[in-house]
Amino acid sequence: MLYHLLPMSKLLSIVLLCLAAQAVLAQVQTLPLYTGTIPNSKPSSVRETSVTLPNGGVRISNVVQPTLTVFLPPSDQANGTAVVICPGGGYTRLSIDHEGYDVAKRLNEMGVAAFVLKYRLPNDQSQPDKSVAPLLDAQQALRLVRQQASKFNINPNRVGLMGFSAGGHLAATAGTHFAQPVGQPTDQTTSVRPDFLVLLYPVISFTDSLKHAGSRNNLLGEQPTAAQIRLYSNETQVTAQTPPTFLVHAQDDTTVPVQNSIVFYEALLRHQVPAEMHLYPRGGHGFGLHNKTTQEDWSASLQNWLGANGWLKK
């Protein structure tokens, strides 16, 4: 009798696993950022490349078609808040797994919808003005999420922006340059101001003393003007309208000096913008979700901060 039942039980297990996998896949989808012509683009031979590292990490470069990959929490856990995530990579590549997809799944555990932005990296071959291409994409991502808020069961007034390293520079730029959106958007009614910012070991300043040289050179070229440096040194662009901000950095970061987060925090303080900052003595750069030098979990602290500000209420 058991002999005859065994194949059926295995079949049932397979069916259940398939249904579970389909349910997960149904929660993840990828959307084109633009319909029709992509602004600030020109024909070129540039082709997107994706490299999988020995440790399983994924690095994407030469992005031509920007997208949003959507991660939705279970409907019974969703609280209506959304976060657009900008992975880092020095404006030359995107660390799209550990600074994108992994973080999106953690946000889903909080009931937050997550949208991983595969934004265009500065490229003179494929963009007439490479300095605005990433910001165009970040602002369009905010528009798209708000335009489709009902589809994704989110509140258009609870859309935050998160960024890591150079992605943190992009997020901070979007959080300080929203009053005059770049480009010529067809939709000029949907706000591109994030409702909050989450910045992980962010590039903030392009000043000579604090800059991450690679990020500045890739975005602005090797001889930027003083006006360009000031425009993209986001500590100089903070106003009272800059969104509330959560910052994380490590003191021993030799890639992006910790002073980047500190000067941004000080600027927020001067303009009375609510901010919370977590500084670790160690951890270096690019630790993603897990700073292995400490048992403190910044994502748990982020969850507390989001909750304290009312963004986790259904």
Q: Which of these ranges, 54-68, 175-189, 199-213, has the smallest mean pLDDT?
A: 175-189
The answer to whether the pTM exceeds 0.85 is: yes
Does residue 43 or residue 185 have the better pLDDT? 43
Q: What is the structure's pLDDT at 28?
A: 83
Residue 130 Cα to chain centre, angstroms = 19
Report residue 179 as tokens.
Answer: 């009053």
Beta-carbon count within 10 A of 106 CB: 18
Which CATH class name applies to 29-308? alpha beta
> What pLDDT band is residue 96 in, cutting at 50, 70 and 90?
very high
Rounded Cα–Cα distance for residues 196 and 244 (Å): 5
Q: What is the structure's pLDDT at 199?
A: 98
Does residue 131 or residue 21 have the better pLDDT? 131
Q: Is the pLDDT of residue 1 over 50?
A: no
Rounded Cα–Cα distance for residues 266 and 213 (Å): 22
pLDDT digit string, tens, across residues 8-62: 555 454 444 444 444 444 468 999 999 989 999 999 999 999 999 998 899 999 9
| Domain locations along the chain | 29-308
Q: Is the pLDDT of residue 2 over 60?
A: no
Instruction: Please say whether the beta carbons of 123 and 92 come within 8 A.
Output: no
